[in-house]
Amino acid sequence: MRSREETCWLKLRQRGDSFVGFPSCRLSDILDRNRGHPSLFCCIGSSGKDEAMRWLTTVRSGRRDFGDIHLQLDKGARSIHTERPLLFADITTYENASLPLSDAVGDFVEWPLEGCSLVPVTAYSVVLGALTDVLCVFLSDTEGMRDLVNIVSSWTKNPLSLPLPLPRLVVVVERAAPGDCSVSQSEREVAGEIRNILGQALPAKFSALSVHFLCQDKDLASEHRYRRLRDLLVAESDRVREKRVQSHALFQSRHFTTLAGTAYKSFRDNLPVDLVQASRVRMPIPHKMQHHIQRFLHRFGGDEASLRTFALPYLCSAMMLDAFPPGMHNFAPEQVYRSLYKPIVVRALHALRLPRTHEALVERIVRRLHPRTGSQSRRYHRKCMLAYARRWRNIFSDRDCLVCLARAPEYPLSCGHAICAVDVRRMTECGLLPINACPLCARPVREFKYKGRPKTKGVNVLSIDGGGIRGIIPLQILRLVEQKLSSYLPDYPVQNHFDLAVGTSSGGLIVLGAFLKGLSMMDCMKMLRTLSTKVFRCRLPWVRGFQGPMLRLAMVYLFGSIYPSRTMDTFLHSIFGDNTLFGHHDAPVRGAKVAVTATGVPKGGFVLTNYNGAGSDDKRHGYKHVRTTRPADRLKITDAARATTAAPGFFLPHTLLGIGEVQDGALCGLNNPEQLAERESRSLWPGSGRPDVLVSAGTGYVDPQPKSPLSPTGWKPPRRGFSVTKALIGYVSSLAHVIGSFLDGEVAHTMRADEPTSLKRPHKYFRCNVKFDDHVPALDDVTAIDRLRERTESAFRESHQIGEISAALLSTMFYFELIARPVRNRSSVSCVGRIVCHLDAGEGLDHLITSLRTAKAEFFIADLAVPVGQHRLDHRRFRFEQSVHVEVQNLDAQFPISLRTGGLSHDRTPVPISASPFTLRGLTDAQGWNNHFGCDDFGPTSPAQIRKRRLPMAIAGAWKKSRLSGVI
C-alpha cells in the first residue's frame, strides 16, 4: 500500500510569525502522460470527507494533518490516458486546529495569511481556485453554518487577467432516513438558509449553490450512496466546463500543471497571476520587438491607406504567429493581444505619433481572428505573406525580420530579403525542408538548406590573432590539426568543426577566406604568401633595396602609408569578388558565424559579421556591430577584409559606408579576439553556456624578461646638442614598438588567464602560439614566411597540444539527446537517450565510424564503457546513433559522457562529447520538453513528436535491445 505522504501536494507550516510552504510534484506525477482536459474538485471536511474519499479516489487515506492539501485521482478512471481525468483535492479541517510548527527548509510565503481563519483553504483558493470546478463542503464535519461561513470567507480569489468561470459550491448534508421530507424541498430550505447567512459573499466567489443529501440508511450500500455524490459533482463540473470552453479556459493536462506551478509561485511571492503571461515564461516576447515594429510602421507613416490595408493587418498576423506555436493553449486572440502585445504596439504607435484610431483598428482586427495553434497559425501567416507578395518586392530590411517583425535577421536570401533563425526553423520544419522560394515575395531563390545546431549540442569557437605575414603560424597549426584528423576524416576541412570564427587583421583575412570562400588551409597559405609578395612592396621601384626607418617615415609623411592600398584592394577583390559579407553563400548552410574586428578613426572598436550582429547587445561590450539596413548598403567581403587589415602606417585607413574610416582591429585591444569570440557565442546561443572547444591561435610572441628592480643602473649625463636624424629614428622605433605591443595577443591571453574563477577559460580551451627567443619577425617581412612555417611545425611536432585539440574536436562531433521522458523510480531517475553524430549519412560518416570501430573506440557513460558502433550499419544511408540507458539519483545529478580514441592524443584519456556533462533537467529543458505551451521555433515539445529514423528490419530488434548496454 502506498504511503499517505505520496499523495500530499502542498504542506503549510508555521515558523514564528511566518508561514512556510513545502510543494511537491504530485500534480505533475498524476498528469504527466495525460493529454486530456482534467476537472478538479476540492473537498473540505474531516471524517465524513475521508469516508467519501475512500469511495471516490484510488488511494485509501489515513489521518490528515491540518495544513496538508492532498491530490488524488478518480477511482473510476480506467486509464491515465482518459480524456477527462477527475482530480480530487481534499483539505482536512478540525475544531480549533492550527498549523504545525516546522524548522525545515521551505518556501517563505509572502501572501498575507495572518488574518485567515482557515489557512489551507485560503492557500488552495489562491493557487488552484481558478482551475477548480466544484468546491464540496461536508457540513456534517463542521460546527454548522458558522464553519461554512469561515470556509467561504477564507476562499480568496487571486486577481487574474482573464475572466475565468467561478466554481460551483456543493454542500453535502447527511440525513437519517429518506422519508423525512422531499429532497427538493429540503434542498431549497437549506440553500435558502445558506444564502441568507452568506449574503453577497456567495455570488462574488461561486457561480451556483447546490445541496446534496447523503442518506445514512444502513440498507443502502456505501458504493451506491457515494456514486450519486460523484454523479452530482460531475454534473456540476459539466456546467462549469461549458463556460470554460466559451471563455477559452479549458486547459489540457500539461497546461494545467504549468499554470498550477505558476500560481503557486505568485502565491509564494504575493503577486497577481496572468495566465497568458504564465504560458510564455519559457518563451518570452523578444525584448526588441517594439523597435522592429516601430521601424516597420515608420515606412508607412504618411500613407494612411497602406497602414489600414497592409501594415496593421500584417502586423496582427505576425503577432498571432508568435502567439500560437504548436502546443499553445487556444486563448482568445484578444486576450493574448491585451496581455502580451498591446503595450508594445501602443508604445510603437505613440513613438511614431500616429493617431489613436490605429490602436482601435488593431484591436478590431485581432478580435476578428480565430484562435489558431501550431501549423494553423503558420499556414495563415504564409497566406498573409503571399497575399502581399507584390508589396514585399519593394520592401527590404537588414535590421528587421519582415516575416515575424520580432527579431533581427540572420540569413539573407538571394532575392534580397533576410529572415531570422527562428523563422528559418519555422519555415523549414526545423531544417527538414529546403527553402526554394522567398516566403515574402514568393520569388524563386537559390536553394537554401538550413542545417542548424542541434539543441543539445555545444559550440566550438575559433579565434585567430593578427600579425601580418605571421598569419602563417595559425594556418600551419590548423593544417596540423587537419592532418591529425585525416585518418578519421580524410576529406573534412578543419574549419567545418567550428560554429563561430573570429579574427583580427591577418586572422580576419584567414577566417573570411576559409569560412566564406571555402578555401582549404593550403589555399589560405598560398593566398597569404601571394598577398604578402604583391602588397609588401615599396611604392618607389628605385628605392626598394633601402627599407630603413627613415625611408619608412618618409613614405608615411609623403603618402600616408608605407605601402599602396590599391594593390591590396585589387588582390582582395580578385579573391572575394563582389560577394557581400551578409549575403547568400556557403557559410550559412554549414551554420558557421564569422566575425572580424576593426578600429574606428580616431577611436572605437567595431565588429563586422556575416550574421549582421543578430543577438548581440552592444551596450554591455566595448565594441559596436556594423549593421546594414538594406541590401544596397551591405558590406562586401572585400571591404571587411580591407578594414581589418588596415594596419596604421602600413596601409591607409579604409572607409566604410555609414561608419567612416576604420583601421586594423588590433588598435582597440582586439588583436587577440578570444574574449570577444566567447561573448559573441553567448549572445548567439544564450542557452549553450561556455564553448565546448575554444581554439585561440596566436602569431608568435617573445617572453618578456624585465630587469630586476635591484639591479644597479648607472647615471648618464644629459646629452648636449640635438640630432634631428636620431630623433626621427627614435620616433619611428617607438612607433614600431607601440604597434608591436598592440599585436601581442599573448598579453591579453595572460591577463585573461589571471581572471577570477567565475571568468576563467572553459575546460576545453587551447591557446596555441610560438615562442621566439629574441624578437618576432616584422609584419611585412616576406622572407620569413617559410622560416615561420618550419618553426611552427617543429614547435608543435613535439607538443601534445595538436593531438589534444584533435581529440576534442572529434569528440564534440557527437552529442547526446533523450528519446523518452525520464522515469522516476523509488530511489532514482532513469531515462533512455542516444548518442548522435552530427555528420549526415554518407561516405564521410561511414569512414569515421569504421575507423573508430577499428581503433576500438569507446563511449564512457560515467565509468561504464560502451563500444562505438556495436551494430554494423551502412552509414552511407543511415545516420549514426547509439542508444544508451542512464540511471541517476535525481534530475539535477550530473553524468558525463566521453569518447576514448586511439592515435590522436599522447594518452587514451576519454574526452567529453559535446555539452558534457549533462543533467536530465538540462536535457529536457534544451530539447523543449518542458515548454508545455510550445517553442517559438515550432520545434517538438514532447518525445512523441521526434521523427524516428528508419533502420533496416534485420537489425531493428537488435538495436532496441542495445538500449540497456549503458546502464549506470
Looking up cell 562529447, which residue turns up? 913
The string of DSSP codes covering 914-932 is TT-SB-HHHHHHHTTTT-T
Q: Which three cell numbers stand for residue 530?
A: 601571394
Burial 846-871 (b: 16+ CB within 10 A, else e): bbbbebbeebebbbbbbeeebebbee
3-state helix/strand/coil string of 717-746: CCCCCCCHHHHHHHHHHHHHHHHHHHCCHH
Q: Are 530 and 513 in contact (CB under 8 A)?
A: no
Grid cell of 220 as nine digits:
443502502
Q: How far apart are CA 571 and CA 534, in angstroms?
A: 8
CA 933 to chain centre: 15
Of 68, 133, 664, 937, the catalytic one is 664
CB 565 within 8 A of CB 652: yes
- Give the integer Cα–Cα distance in Å for 367 and 351: 24
Q: What is the CA radius of gyration of the chain?
A: 35
Closest residue by Cα to residue 869 from 885, 884, 883, 849: 849
Residue type present at position 381: H
In whole angstroms, how far apart are CA 696 and each of 301, 640, 681, 764?
49, 21, 14, 11
Nearest to 911 by CA among 812, 838, 817: 812
Across the chain, which distance is largest between two alpha carbons, in Å?
131
Catalytic residue selected from 46, 266, 317, 505: 505
Cis check: omega of the bond before 602, within 30 degrees of 0: yes
CA distance 955 to 940: 27
Judge whether 505 counts as a catalytic residue.
Answer: yes
447 within 8 A of 435, measured Cβ to Cβ = yes
Peptide bond into 777 cis (omega under 30): no
Cα 152 versus chain centre, distance: 44
Element at 662 (helix H, strand E): strand 660-664
| Contact call for residues 839 and 845 (beta carbons, < 8 A) | yes
Beta strand extents in 414-466 (DSSP E only): 418-419, 435-437, 444-448, 460-464
The H helix count followed by the E strand count for the chain is: 33, 32
Look at strands 168-175 and 209-215 and give their pairing.
Answer: parallel
H helix intervals, 155-209: 183-198, 201-205
Residue 828 near residue 888, CB atoms below 8 Å: yes
Give the number of residues written for the chain: 968
Pick the closest to residue 634 from 665, 608, 600 (CA basis). 608
Q: Distance between CA 89 and CA 69 in Å, rounded?
A: 7
Q: How many CA atoms lie within 13 A of 968 on its CB side?
A: 22
CA distance 143 to 97: 13
Q: Are 75 and 85 in contact (CB under 8 A)?
A: no
3-state secondary structure of 783: helix
List the beta bridge partners of residue 90. Answer: 43, 70
Contact 614, 420 (CB under 8 A): yes
Alpha-carbon dihedral sign for residues 936, 942, 945, 949? positive
Q: Which of 867, 877, 886 is nearest to 964 (CA)?
A: 886
Task: Tell me if residue 664 is catalytic.
Answer: yes
**Any idea which residue has 617615415 for its cell?**
553
Q: Return the amino acid letter for 803.
A: G
Q: What positions carry a catalytic annotation? A: 505, 664
